[in-house]
Amino acid sequence: QVQLVESGGGLVQAGGSLRLSCVASGNIISITAMAWYRQAPGKQRELVALITGSGGTDYAGSVKGRFTISNDNAKRTVYLQMNSLKPEETAVYYCHLRTFVQDYWGQGTQVTVSS
């Protein structure tokens, strides 16, 4: 049973920062990538940032230069450092794990950015 547990969400003022963490546990075989997605009310879930098993990264254009994704393979943890947050980035942020066999999702952590 694979589990992804996110933490670090909360309420922050516009311009502030938050750091999200996602810990993966269970029988995980051949991680190809881990990523953060977000879903705002009434909107589709969108990719925010991704990091591959070899350390390559990719970002949504709207967050480039402000968000940083990183990981600690030994701890099976992926992080998302979010700086200069904007009110429109209020959403539930989801951790995603991709393996050769299956994809997994966390339950999400709420990020609320007040103006």
Angle (nearest 5°) at CA 54 between 48 and 56: 40
Query: Which pLDDT tens digits describe the chain residue by residue (115 residues)?
Result: 899 999 999 999 999 999 999 999 998 888 899 999 999 999 999 999 999 988 999 999 999 999 999 999 888 999 999 999 999 999 999 999 999 989 999 999 999 999 9
